[in-house]
Structure 1
């Protein structure tokens, strides 16, 4: 009989806590004429709960798909590599032909930067047609490469697989259980930090930051595409002799702890603020103001942020959501909007370096680079000049 997931067993407690929070809000209403972001809003709450249910179902769908797409182990995985290679070759050939046409039939001299290139001297219609062709093949090449890498990683970095390679015997007992919790918390810090610093992981994690509200239902707005990224494997704990069941329980305890910090009701918990991640610290993490971006990545402990320079206290009132909010409660839009933006950026990128940078580098870099590559008239419109 499979072991129960503690997070699933905690669902009644989650619902009860949300009911208690709503009761508190009703007995302590916001000032007349003001909007309190901690209050529940029906459409936002439904979206969060839908994403929460989706995050529970998604692994049962994505897991088998990723295993089937693992290169070297299945025909589908081999086909995926072939598609990626063919798309990459087609894109490269298209790049060369397009640049030849843009430069009057010859390639620019080696070492020429885009800013130094002369203005096109021929009609651009054929070059633009080649650009449309290579934009599609570029997306196919980058996407197939990413899926292949994620499937290989998921197959070989699982706790079960790494436990088989551990040079240490699996040990049980309170000390090992505490090691599992602390170890998961430490690895979580780095994965959470990378989820803000790499756009590939941000596309998955942005779901959790998409709400402009902040209450206990926000904690349930979880990503549904974790399997399609590459993270620091929690299975590393198995390499030092932590049993897989302890690792699974550590994951559940980590998630359950994070639930209660998504509230505006609790303002401070005193001296424990120095050690633990708290509602105050996590409110700042969900802020969209510049000083609150990419800070306070801890889960149970806040000490990792203080050790590695990513801690920021909650000072001014937090404005929740994204720097560019969605204005949508559609779960499909919430789950896919950043993936679509990545595909659009890869399609418009002129070089392989830009294409993979749009996937791997930070969201901030991507937004700046997108503006640099945009035509002058589009840039002026975006800036509000035209």
Structure 2
């Protein structure tokens, strides 16, 4: 099996981080005034996430692989998805018909402490009627199982080898084809990266990369672990037009390797190439939480996609890095999972199918705004 180019590049990544750290030592600033400076706990968290991202595909394949083969595991998950969806719909109807919602029967007082703990950051009421609680939890299972069915089926149907085997076109091996693969991957990446910021389900995976309040080369290695649990425009579209899977995988590696060097504050500008290429300056904007920087500069190698599709923003003010609401943790497990947990909890608290699916499919901004509105209404 051919070794991934990103793995071969690991020594280069480490060497570049050491060089960046040495540059910072030679160009000291007042402590706390340069977000690009290394902080031990933050760097260890980023490196842990990077190592985890190398292992995650193997774990994911072991756990989710059977779901894509339409065997017993897949049928069981499909049954759960259909059954819980039907049950939630029926419970919604019953709950609306029962205006007292069992509350006057005293049943609502069960498990008060557990409910308070589970919903403390999302809902103000200390106690929910038991039927609403049951409906919410069954509904969350319905949404989660359905999403997992869709993600695994989509991944199986759009695998590069499978798509290439179905097309009569084969462009062969040449420098032109390799270049086409890199440009094609870069174009598809722009849209996937843009959707990462515009669809909550995809953001739950991608926000891991934005979770550091530092901005240095180690931040580039802070990669997600849940790629297979969401949807993407398939890069196998390149296989459909005759690009061999090997070229597609090399294009992926080149794309990732290029993105490494743009995570730095040491390089301020590269001159005229800023007009065409994605650079540290452009990508600092992408990582900024400044209002004018949100959801801007999604390109990977080329910045021209952002200029063509209206998402480009030049660097003017100093970016403030991190999330709009930071999670204040260096625990890799929490970094990787907190948005998924929040999303599941919010779906559990939703009372309509529109809200349940909106927490996945609408923008992160909508979800956070909806959370704030519910808290304000219950206060």
How far did 1:231 drift?
Answer: 0.2
Q: Which residue of 2 aligns with 1:23?
A: 22
Per-residue CA distance 1:67-111 (angstroms, 9 max, x = gap): 21137x211000001111111122112111211122799xxxxxx
What's the TM-score once normalised by structure 1's chain length? Answer: 0.90
2:355 maps to 1:354? yes
Q: Which residue of 2 aligns with 1:231?
A: 232
Q: Which residue of 1 aligns with 2:115?
A: none
Q: Which residue of 1 aligns with 2:291?
A: 290
Q: Which residue of 2 aligns with 1:171?
A: 172
Per-residue CA distance 1:140-169 (angstroms, 9 max, x = gap): 100000110011011110111110111312
- 8 Å Cα contact 1:67/1:155 also seen in 2: no
* Higher alpha-carbon deviation: 6-15 or 161-170: 161-170
Q: Which residue of 2 aligns with 1:113?
A: none
Q: Which residue of 2 aligns with 1:84?
A: 81
2:97 maps to 1:96? no
Per-residue CA distance 1:339-375 (angstroms, 9 max, x = gap): 0110011001110111011011110011112233336
Structure 2: distance between partners of 1:218 and 1:34: 17
- Classify the secondary structure of the residue corresponding to 1:69: helix
Structure 2: distance between partners of 1:322 and 1:75: 40
- 8 Å Cα contact 2:269/2:281 also seen in 1: yes
Q: Which residue of 1 aligns with 2:112?
A: none
- C-alpha root-mean-square deviation of aligned residues, in Å? 1.7
How far did 1:66 drift?
Answer: 2.5
Structure 2: distance between partners of 1:277 and 1:223: 21
Structure 2: distance between partners of 1:80 and 1:372: 34
- Classify the secondary structure of the residue corresponding to 1:312: coil
Structure 1: distance between partners of 2:101 and 2:141: 29
Structure 2: distance between partners of 1:204 and 1:169: 33
- Classify the secondary structure of the residue corresponding to 2:68: coil
Structure 1: distance between partners of 2:181 and 2:225: 24
Structure 2: distance between partners of 1:124 and 1:377: 21
Structure 2: distance between partners of 1:376 and 1:159: 48
What's the TM-score once normalised by structure 2's chain length? Answer: 0.92
2:150 maps to 1:139? no
Label 1:151 to 1:193 Cα distance change in 2 as closer, same or farther (>3 A). same
Structure 2: distance between partners of 1:12 and 1:292: 32
Label 1:284 to 1:375 Cα distance change in 2 as closer, same or farther (>3 A). closer
Q: Which residue of 2 aligns with 1:246?
A: 247
* Higher alpha-carbon deviation: 59-68 or 75-84: 59-68
Q: Which residue of 1 aligns with 2:323?
A: 322
Count matched residues: 360
Label 1:372 to 1:123 Cα distance change in 2 as closer, same or farther (>3 A). farther
Q: Which residue of 2 aligns with 1:114?
A: none
Per-residue CA distance 1:256-304 (angstroms, 9 max, x = gap): 0000000000000000000000000000000011111101000000000
Structure 2: distance between partners of 1:247 and 1:210: 29
**Which residue among 39, 57, 73 is the counterpart of 1:59?**
57
Structure number with higher relative contact order (C-alpha < 8 Å, ≥ 6 residues apart): 2
- The runs of 5 or more residues in structure 1 that have no matched partner are 106-119, 379-386
* Higher alpha-carbon deviation: 246-255 or 164-173: 164-173
- 8 Å Cα contact 2:101/2:130 also seen in 1: no
2:71 maps to 1:74? yes
Structure 2: distance between partners of 1:373 and 1:293: 24
Structure 2: distance between partners of 1:79 and 1:170: 41
